[in-house]
Amino acid sequence: MADRPERGRSERGRPERGRPERGGGGGPRRRGPRQRSAQRPAERARTADPARDVAFQTLTAVSEGAYANLELPRQLRRAGVSGRDAAFATELCYGTVRMQRLYDAVIGAAGNRPVDQIDPPVLDVLRLGCHQLLAMRVPDHAAVSATVALARQHVGAGAGGFVNAVLRRVSEADPDTWTERVTAPLTDEVDRLALRESHPGWIARALRAALVGNAAATPGTATQTLAALLHAHNTPGPLTLVARPGLGAEDELGDAGATPATLVPTAWTLPGGDPGGLAPVRDGRAAVQDAGSQLVALALAGAPLDGPDEQWLDLCAGPGGKAGLLAAVAAQRGAALRANEVTAHRAELVRNTLGAVLANGGRAEVTVEDGREVGAAEPDRYDRVLVDAPCTGLGALRRRPEARWRRTPQDLTALGPPQRDLLRSALAATRPGGVVVYATCSPHLAETHFVVNDVLKKRTDVTLEDVRPLLLDRAGEPLPGTGPGPWAQLWSHVHDTDSMFLALLRKH
């Protein structure tokens, strides 16, 4: 076969105008015959194209500890990459990070050596090549040639030869064959599923327990449901914006092509593009925010109260997404919000977030204090308190692709005491008759049920109330699928949100 681009594709494997690249970032799903090349890939490109170079630079930084969602935009700006090339780089980068475990197994099998014997930069290049071959519609010859060029440019000619050999071996089988080949030695069903969907085994088992613990699955259906959840983590979620109430962003979002999301009254879905280019986002009247986070803030704001409703507290406010929504709702009711954050640099992010509300006459302040000490300093003061506790983030894995490789079971041990201390502080800061919402972006039972139960079993002045009636969609109807109560658990594969947990506690 001649070295021609696939119909509807550019020479470098990107789709031509009007034929968008397949998104997803998911696992190996490509089907159909491969595109062979009579020309040796190693003989073609000598330098990487800008989009793949951006993906490689980002992957290298992530391997050294950077966050992909912060590093990728920086690399795109540095390289001057935008538009379709930026979309290609984003898919390549995020998809590669997500599917790293599966790709490492494939690379180890194709290279006949464990991946820990491969130099990290070479391994990063090979992972990028695997994603193009196994999960994107890039023709084989383009994927191999461009990836070999990447290796030559950043690592050396010798590495280019090794990368060429491994990727040509990878290209000899389709994704399903590779997946079956590398998972076959595993005898445990959850372990096989974890490798197939590229998650650490301990996370897969913890999420399975969370599904059963929240009655989202039975022991008999848990593995099948877990498969849907893990796959959802490998599928990019919608680009969701919040229109902060009372600031007049809705019409402009609609004019920009965003549509009202049905799940949350304040949520809008943007079909694509850079939300940072929208005027309401630039000036803080709107922001990118997962719908699950919006539901948490609105649940706190919607809880019924007896007595005054004037003082609201966001105890762990950084970086400020929920505080921004709470401040806007509080301003509509004449209430004041204190947004507290323990670190100064995150507190500055909160200040920026609250700027639009303050400019519109709202009352809000940002404080820098250890949230665990606020209750003792200001007992019985606040009417509504949010504890968005620091957690493992296991419910936000589709938005934070590297998190699954950085978290360990030891993190749960470290996070447990401050989560309990923050909830105790929040209850101390709440006046009798006031309410606290405890929330995490993790469904892990050690960060949700166990924390709330541990704190409550030592108190007789707090009641755990049913929070589910407060989770209302745009039509005002309660959200289905949040569990038997009284707390609620959102799921990425059910609600298309982060897997947020929230509980409502009332102090007497």
CA–CA separation, 250 and 266 (whole Å): 9
Condensed to tens digits (0 to 9), the pLDDT of residues 307-332 reads 999 999 999 999 999 999 999 999 99
Binding-site residues for S-adenosyl-L-methionine, in ranges, read: 316-322, 341, 370, 388
Report how far apart, in Å, the C-alpha atoms of 28 and of each of 56, 126, 245, 490 are: 20, 15, 41, 27
- List the structure tokens of 303: 């809880």
Residues 413/341, Cβ–Cβ less than 8 Å: no
Q: Is the dihedral of CA 20, 24, 26, 32 positive or negative?
A: negative
Beta-carbon count within 10 A of 157 CB: 10
Q: Considering 93, 130, 391, 441, which one is annotated as catalytic? A: 441
CA angle 416, 440, 322 (to 5 degrees): 135
Residue 286's DSSP bridge partners are 243
Query: Which residues in 299-322 are b (16+ Cβ under 10 Å) and which e?
Result: bbbbbeeeeebebbbbbbbbbbbb
Q: In terms of C-beta density within 10 A (0-12 exposed, 13-18 middle, 19 or more buried), how is residue 376 classed?
A: exposed
Mean pLDDT, all residues of the chain: 91
Residue 79's DSSP bridge partners are none
Residues 494/481, Cβ–Cβ less than 8 Å: yes
Using alpha carbons, select from 25, 142, 167 the residue that is nearest to residue 87: 25
Beta-carbon count within 10 A of 168 CB: 19
Region of poorest pLDDT, from 64-68, 249-253, 314-318, 485-489: 64-68
Q: Which residue has the tokens 């969602």?
A: 69
Sheet holding 286-288, edge to edge: 259-260, 267-270, 239-243, 286-288
CA–CA separation, 73 and 361 (whole Å): 33
Judged against a pLDDT cut of 60, whether residue 211 lies above it is answered with yes
pLDDT band, residue 41 (cuts 50/70/90): very low
Give the pLDDT of residue 37. Answer: 43
CA–CA separation, 13 and 106 (whole Å): 22
Region of poorest pLDDT, from 208-222, 271-285, 414-428: 271-285
Using alpha carbons, select from 458, 311, 455 the residue that is nearest to residue 386: 311
Beta-carbon count within 10 A of 329 CB: 23
CA–CA separation, 436 and 380 (whole Å): 12
Give the pLDDT of residue 30. Answer: 52
Binding-site residues, in ranges, read: 316-322, 341, 370, 388
User: 486 preceded by cis ω (within 30°)?
Assistant: yes
CA angle 297, 300, 303 (to 5 degrees): 145
pLDDT band, residue 42 (cuts 50/70/90): very low
Residues 6+ apart with CB under 8 A from 394: 203, 206, 207, 403, 404, 407, 442, 443, 444, 499
CA–CA separation, 95 and 102 (whole Å): 11
Residues 198/62, Cβ–Cβ less than 8 Å: no
Using alpha carbons, select from 333, 263, 330, 299 the residue that is nearest to residue 465: 299
Task: Select the more confidently predicted residue: 3 or 276.
Answer: 276
DSSP codes, 148-189: HHHHHHHT-HHHHHHHHHHHHHHTTS-HHHHHHHHHTT--SH
Question: Rounded mean pLDDT of 461-476?
Answer: 98
Query: Which residues in 66-89 are b (16+ Cβ under 10 Å) and which e?
Result: bebeebbeebbeebebeebbbbbb
CA angle 121, 123, 128 (to 5 degrees): 100
Condensed to tens digits (0 to 9), the pLDDT of residues 111-150 reads 999 999 999 999 999 999 999 999 998 999 999 999 999 9
Quick check: is 441 catalytic? Answer: yes
Q: Domains of the chain (ranges plus CATH)?
A: 44-176 (1.10.940.10), 186-234 (no CATH), 289-507 (3.40.50.150)
Give the pLDDT of residue 85. Answer: 94
Torsion of the alpha carbons at 210, 390, 495 and 250, rounded to the nearest 10: 170
Q: Within 13 Å of residue 468, how many CA atoms lie on the same side as its CB? A: 14
Give the pLDDT of residue 23. Answer: 34
Residue 34's DSSP bridge partners are none
Judged against a pLDDT cut of 80, whether residue 7 lies above it is answered with no
Give the pLDDT of residue 137. Answer: 87
Give the pLDDT of residue 46. Answer: 65
- Taking the model in full, what pTM does it have? 0.90
Judged against a pLDDT cut of 90, whether residue 458 lies above it is answered with no
Condensed to tens digits (0 to 9), the pLDDT of residues 199-210 reads 999 999 999 999
User: 478 preceded by cis ω (within 30°)?
Assistant: no
Residue 505's DSSP bridge partners are 436, 464
- What is the DSSP secondary structure assignment for residue 274, as one 8-state letter? -
Residues 175/28, Cβ–Cβ less than 8 Å: yes
Query: Which residues in 35-52 are b (16+ Cβ under 10 Å) and which e?
Result: bebeeebbebbeebbbbb
Beta-carbon count within 10 A of 107 CB: 25
Q: In terms of C-beta density within 10 A (0-12 exposed, 13-18 middle, 19 or more buried), how is residue 361 classed?
A: exposed
- What is the DSSP secondary structure assignment for residue 478, as one 8-state letter? B
In 262-406, which residue ranges form alpha helices assigned H by DSSP? 279-282, 291-302, 321-333, 344-359, 371-377, 403-406
